[in-house]
Structure 1
Amino acid sequence: LSRVFPFDLGFCIGFQIGMEIPHIARDREQVHARHLEHNLGTMYGADYIGAGVGAAIWVLVCLRMPIIYAAVGTAALNTLVGFAFLTVYRRELRPAVALWLGHGMMVAVVVVVATLGNDWMHRLEDTLFKDRVVHRLQSPYQNAVITKRHIAPDLPNVLSLYINGRLQFASNDEAIYHAFLTTPAMLAANRRDNVLVLGGGDGLALRDLLRWNPKEVVLIDIDEQVVGLFSGNDATAPTPLSRELVHLNRQAFLDARVHTVIGDAFVEVERLAAEGHAFDVVIGDLPDPSHPDLNRLYSDYFFARIAQVLGADGVLATQSTSPFHAKEAFLSIGKTMTAAGFLVEQYRANVPSFGEWGWSIGVLSGATASERIARHPSAEIPDGWLTVEHVLAAFSFPAGYYDKTQGIAINRLGSHVLFQYHQQSWHRNRGVFFTPAVP
């Protein structure tokens, strides 16, 4: 029912909207008691102008508001127009009493939703998460929810961050993900003075990078509210939660070496390239390409722009979805980086909250990333648990894993190839099918 109902509702609304203009055109002629020349043209013109104004208001105002407030405001405006219509044409309308009662009921519904709707929506949203929701944040870009799980008195609470319903990290195993995101790149880099992080507004990748003692780390994230939450600057967050989040990232945003840029990574990397900036390491801690807007952050064009801000012996490492659950998407990211001029390798590790997860690492010239990593002793790794042998083992994949790479498309800017691979893997195939090389 939940899959069919939106389409049924959309059909009903669309059908009634289709009847609206001819009906109003007839009513206009009845009100004026004569035939109106260009009546339909006038109606369509007014409809298009109104639709344009409404769309502008929705994009510029409503999208920046909580969805309940936007819905209530829209409904209240329509109800107000209805009352104005009833008042002006009260003598022509029959039965007027029924129409007034109907509009009165609509006003009651709007008032109830305005008063209780936000709480209802939060309660309904809470049922989607297995752990207790302790904070939620609605920014112009995304919906963020933090949940907390209490396991035992002698164990820390497990905090999980969900962005638009998708798990971004769980505090009990995020160290695995972030270690494999950052450590191979820092080992492969000949210099580690200047580092660029794309995304990573939770500060966890930043925390791990600062352990390598860089001179400067520039972090670009589009969502100022998420960065504020993990910086301890969100006044709406409970104080104990803010302390836990800041403790989790070791107050990374307060480090003097960190320069935070609030903006679209796609645009900001262009700016950095135009200004001639050069970085030793670039880390891509971006969300999965689950939306067309995110797809461009994994395009050949974007990777080529990243290459422009890398030093000659610099290293790029980016999260690349799951090599098991979304194999085509994983392979496409690696192939797209290669098309942008990188010498690419891929690696994987098991993150319990995510399952098998993968990353891609690329250099512009010289020895491959794994060859560079092999030169280093494990003692150089500052996290205290990951070893060079462990990292190198992550570069190993099953026999035949890359056999079908030739049939995988490069994610050209505007093609949405990667987005489609990702959608097919997670929604059609459910991310659970494994096809061995030998039948």
Structure 2
Amino acid sequence: MSTTTDAANGDSPAPGHPADDDEGAGPPFVLQRRWRALLLASVAACAACGLIYELALLTLSTSLAGGGIVATSLIVAGYVAALGAGALLVKPLLHRAAITFVTVETLLALVGGLSATALYLTFAYFDSSLWVLVFATALIGSLVGAEVPLLMTLLQQGRTAEATDSGRILANLNAADYLGALLGGLAWPFILLPALGMIRGAAVTGMVNLVAAAVLALFLLRHLLSRRALMLSLLLLAAAAAVLITLLVGSRHIETTARQALYADPIIAYERSDYQEIVVTQRGNDTRLYLDGGLQFSTRDEYRYTESLVYPALQADTRSVLILGGGDGLAARELLRVPSVEHIVQVELDPEVLELARTTLSGINDDSLADPRVQVIVDDAMSWLRQDHPAIPDDGFDAVLIDLPDPDTPQLGRLYSTEFYGLAARVLAPDGRMVVQSGSPYFTTDAYWRTVSSVSAAGLAVTPYHVYVPTFGGWGFTLASHGDTPPAATLPPRLPDLRFLDQQVLDAAVVFPDDMGPRNLEPSTLAHPRVVEDMRHGYR
């Protein structure tokens, strides 16, 4: 049996090999059994780091620019293509595999560790990060793709291998590589991202990458490197580590400074939840809430939006109301002003938004979520609607308010589907009313009328209407009810004093000018989320 089998699985030394300026002339490369686990562990660690870098870029690009199926597919496809390109590009360097491998790992740690920071800074200061994303994806993929050819060369250096021996070596490397990718895929969402965030998480991953490369250089490749090459390799690794440590020390300041550059007003609260980036700004009496960079409300005019969302859904005897979304507590604030309302169920996915509503925003929402009439449930709206929940009245809710962010991602798009509105209709009382925030009929005309069509396709009669909210522009809603007759856009009697909405305003709200008038569009469904495509086409 050839000695390569022992090198991959066991203990025998192999014949020597020629020396050159970089590869050492010392003893032949000996991979004894006790070092096998160390080699495979280092390979797995490097593979995990490579995948984490790409996941960090995907996560940050989605957070900054909204992402989407097309963007994600292009990034993943580009990364896979770069893996193949890297394997081909490294071929001329295989005769100097040891020093090349250390160099590749050093570059990978630096590029991957700094990539999230570069992406964030270019987006913050230049309003575009696409070129950084493309370049980083291509470079990281190419460097990761070079790893296996280099390792195969190192394992077989100076040996004559049978076909089955080469197969065993490749199987071991691939197993370690794929296991590392699995570990990296689990570590990013469950450990690194929640604990460290995107910028520091990528930098820490770079440090792990450097440690793995240093272990390989010191314990496994030292016989293949001349003394000069070994010292140079260690200096490169140390210099890269110094850069990443500097980034880690200054990461909070960098992130805070760059984040503030994205917002015109001073940031008074920030939180990165499991679902989104939450920012609250304030200048004078104007407080604003942003989710993933998208404005949710401004205290200058949020009453226009909130009154238009809430009151058309109410009737004289409305007692129970379901709010899906609306975690800022503003819709609940308005409902608590209505004497007939006895019970409100608030379903919100993100507990960090609710915590912000109870603290920083409590003065704006009149501490509505602390009222005993409000039952707060932390859950995904669609998942909750599919349950037989005790909070649902036997005859359904008298009113349902759907106040969710715009459907610019597939995750949000499912909450604008006909199936979702069908689930909401099931918990609506026979004579109840539902209002859906539906986006801008002017700036995103197709998305607005697509939402109207999707609600209608769920078997509900609909009445579209729109109002003017200065910070948003023209904004639209969909009023819906059971039956075949569209519900009349009317306000209930005995309303509290309102700042914007009255019956005359609501009568005008159902009239649409020609440039944003009704469109007959196919509904958005789970199988075909057309509304996400509408949003992807951008704003008029």
TM-score calculated relative to the size of structure 2: 0.71
Partner of 1:177: 305
Q: CA deviation at 1:272?
A: 4.3
Partner of 2:131: 4
Larger helix fraction of residues = 2
Q: Counterpart amino acid of 1:386?
A: L
Which of these residues, 160, 168, 180, is aligned with residue 288 of structure 2? Answer: 160
Partner of 2:198: 67
Structure 1 residues 132-151: aligned runs within 5 Å: 132-150=266-284
Q: CA deviation at 1:44?
A: 2.1
For 1:229 and 1:85, the matched residues in 2 are separated by 47
For 2:372 and 2:505, the matched residues in 1 are separated by 32
Asked if structure 2 preserves the Cα contact closer than 8 Å seen for 1:181 and 1:319, the reply is yes
Q: CA deviation at 1:79?
A: 1.6
**2:380 is equivalent to residue 380 of structure 1:** no
For 2:467 and 2:183, the matched residues in 1 are separated by 50
Q: Counterpart amino acid of 2:348?
A: D
Partner of 2:20: none
Q: Counterpart amino acid of 2:409?
A: H
SS for the counterpart of 1:19 is helix
Which of these residues, 400, 414, 422, is aligned with residue 282 of structure 1? Answer: 400
**2:179 is equivalent to residue 49 of structure 1:** yes
Distance 1:33 1:269, change over 3 A: same
**2:327 is equivalent to residue 201 of structure 1:** yes
Partner of 2:345: 218
User: Among the aligned pairs, what percent are the same residue?
Assistant: 28
Partner of 1:154: none
Q: Which 5+ residue runs of structure 1 have no aligned equivalent?
A: 151-156, 233-241, 433-439
Which of these residues, 398, 404, 414, is aligned with residue 296 of structure 1? Answer: 414
How many equivalent residue pairs? 403
Question: How big is the alpha-carbon RMSD for the aligned residues of Structure 1 and Structure 2?
Answer: 2.0
Choose 272-281 or 297-306, whichever is displaced more: 272-281
For 1:262 and 1:362, the matched residues in 2 are separated by 25
Q: Counterpart amino acid of 2:495?
A: E
Partner of 1:238: none
Q: CA deviation at 1:17?
A: 2.0
For 1:132 and 1:291, the matched residues in 2 are separated by 28
Structure 1 residues 360-439: aligned runs within 5 Å: 360-365=478-483, 367-370=485-488, 373=490, 376=492, 380-399=495-514, 401-402=516-517, 405-406=519-520, 408-424=521-537, 426=538, 431-432=539-540
Q: CA deviation at 1:368?
A: 3.0
Q: Which 5+ residue runs of structure 2 have no aligned equivalent?
A: 1-127
Choose 84-93 or 379-388, whichever is displaced more: 379-388
Q: Counterpart amino acid of 1:203?
A: G
Asked if structure 1 preserves the Cα contact closer than 8 Å seen for 2:345 and 2:391, the reply is no
**2:235 is equivalent to residue 101 of structure 1:** yes
Distance 1:362 1:290, change over 3 A: same
Asked if structure 2 preserves the Cα contact closer than 8 Å seen for 1:370 and 1:392, the reply is no
**2:379 is equivalent to residue 263 of structure 1:** yes
Asked if structure 1 preserves the Cα contact closer than 8 Å seen for 2:441 and 2:516, the reply is no
Asked if structure 2 preserves the Cα contact closer than 8 Å seen for 1:273 and 1:309, the reply is no
For 1:217 and 1:251, the matched residues in 2 are separated by 14
Asked if structure 1 preserves the Cα contact closer than 8 Å seen for 2:430 and 2:482, the reply is yes
Q: CA deviation at 1:340?
A: 0.3
For 1:32 and 1:129, the matched residues in 2 are separated by 61
For 1:323 and 1:270, the matched residues in 2 are separated by 30
For 1:32 and 1:197, the matched residues in 2 are separated by 70
Partner of 1:358: 476
Q: CA deviation at 1:40?
A: 2.4
Q: CA deviation at 1:329?
A: 0.3
Which of these residues, 135, 156, 166, is aligned with residue 37 of structure 1? Answer: 166
**2:425 is equivalent to residue 307 of structure 1:** yes
Q: Counterpart amino acid of 1:393?
A: A
Determine which structure has greater relative contact order: mean sequence separation of CA pairs < 8 Å that are 6+ residues apart, divided by chain length: 2
Partner of 1:124: 258
Partner of 2:56: none
Asked if structure 1 preserves the Cα contact closer than 8 Å seen for 2:319 and 2:342, the reply is yes
